[in-house]
Amino acid sequence: MNQRRLLARAASVFTTPLAPEDFLALFNPVFSARQLRGVVTRVVPETATSATIHFRPGRGWEAHRAGQWARIGVEIDGVRHWRSYSLSAAAGADPAITVTDMGVISGALVHHTRPGDILFLAPPQGDFVLPEHPRPLLMLTAGSGITPVMSMIRTLVPRRRDADVVLIHTAHAREESLFFEELLELADQFPSLRLVHRFTSESGRLDLSSPAGDLDGLCPDWRDRAAYACGPEEFVDAAERLWAAARPTWPGHDGAPALTIERFSVTRLGGDGTGGGLVTFEASDREIEADGETSLLDLGEDAGILMPSGCRMGICHSCLTPLRAGQVRDLHTGEIHGEPGELIQTCVSAAAGPVNLDR
């Protein structure tokens, strides 16, 4: 038995019935040997329905790269809920998330979070990050899609004299535009940032149907820039189609994609009111009656069960969970499938009858 285990056993004699880590948590709220935590240090309102929540993570947090996201857990009425949020702080700074009230969990974070509150954390993830080598950049964002890009801009623009960034951001109206004043100040202070705000209530939607739509006029050299797009699905899909048709390339670069996208949601099939069944989470000893449209991930999280997850869109496969019995419905395709032992994506699977999961 090594020295660390001997010390831990000795310490437990004096802290019983608490474990030593429970005793330490009385003095340091972010300390936990079992679950990564963070303490809220500051809450900054951004718009009437959004706020940036700064937090100090405990030991075990991995410094994030600009553009990444993290799973955040919050307890509401004694139930712990997990959601994924982009990190809006610059790389190297204490982390922060910028949240818009778009549901029960996000609404609670925006309107009820206070300094000193504890958040439950998972390490940063995601490949929506700055390129490895300096190059001209074009950022296309809509709505809250600016959140990960703001981390990139805060990281790159003030620190690199050779930065060359064009940001085209669309929002419904000025008062709903995240980071509006800060972006104006950055663009005024740093000539390396060229800023274009597009308010759909005044000018309509950004036309990405063809280069002649809006892009050629707003950024004539867009074909020569590494591009990033983040926002609602329709917006990102339009950008993806435009780049696929134009196929811009950069001779001499390292083969990085011409367009890097980050999706906040994907289209799911609607249900017909049938399906569903009793879902048994075996490891948690919980049984929940489910409909045929709610994902098993949401079902488990709403019941306070710690579920693995990542993108929540069926892309990253972080939510894979063994199916012990029953069948599930794929919320993308409508396909019914399932064999005992099969690994299923709980974020895009709903119950198709009684289901047993290894959670």
Kindly report, residue by residue over 326-339, the tens digit of the pLDDT.
Answer: 999 988 888 999 88
Same domain, 115 and 141: no
Count of structural domains, the chain: 3
5 in a structural domain:
no
Cα-based torsion angle of the residue sequence 26, 29, 30, 32 in order, rounded to the nearest 10 degrees: 30
Same domain, 212 and 177: yes
Among residues 86, 121, 156, the one where a domain terminates is 121
Among residues 219, 236, 263, the one where a domain terminates is 263
263, 315 Cβ separation under 8 angstroms: yes
Kindly report, residue by residue over 196-228, the tens digit of the pLDDT.
Answer: 999 999 999 999 998 888 999 999 999 999 999
Same domain, 101 and 185: no
CATH of the domain at 203: 3.40.50.80
CATH of the domain at 61: 2.40.30.10
227 in a structural domain:
yes
Same domain, 254 and 305: no
16 in a structural domain:
no
Structural domain that includes position 298: 277-357
150 pLDDT tier (thresholds 50, 70, 90): very high
Kindly report, residue by residue over 59-104, the tens digit of the pLDDT.
Answer: 889 999 999 999 898 988 887 888 889 999 999 999 999 999 988 8
d(CA 164, CA 166): 7
Same domain, 179 and 223: yes
Same domain, 100 and 143: no
112 in a structural domain:
yes
9 in a structural domain:
no
Same domain, 149 and 237: yes
Cα-based torsion angle of the residue sequence 216, 222, 228, 231 in order, rounded to the nearest 10 degrees: 0
Q: Which is more confident, 161 or 33?
A: 161
Kindly report, residue by residue over 126-142, the tens digit of the pLDDT.
Answer: 999 999 888 999 999 99
d(CA 207, CA 215): 8
Tokens standing for 179?
């980071």
pTM of the model: 0.74
d(CA 118, CA 114): 9
Nearest to 256 by CA among 228, 230, 226, 280: 226
Same domain, 251 and 304: no
- Three-state DSSP at 77 gives coil
Tokens standing for 2?
């090594």
CATH of the domain at 286: 3.10.20.30
- Three-state DSSP at 184 gives helix
268 in a structural domain:
no
- Mean residue pLDDT across the chain: 86
Same domain, 349 and 323: yes
Could you give the residue ranges of the DSSP H alpha helices within 169-214?
180-189, 200-203
Tokens standing for 330?
């794929």
77 in a structural domain:
yes
d(CA 270, CA 58): 41
Helix (H) or strand (E) holding 70: strand 69-76
d(CA 351, CA 359): 15
Same domain, 159 and 102: no
20 preceded by a cis bond (ω within 30 of 0): no
Same domain, 238 and 154: yes
User: What number is the average pLDDT over the span 100-120?
Assistant: 93
Same domain, 87 and 157: no
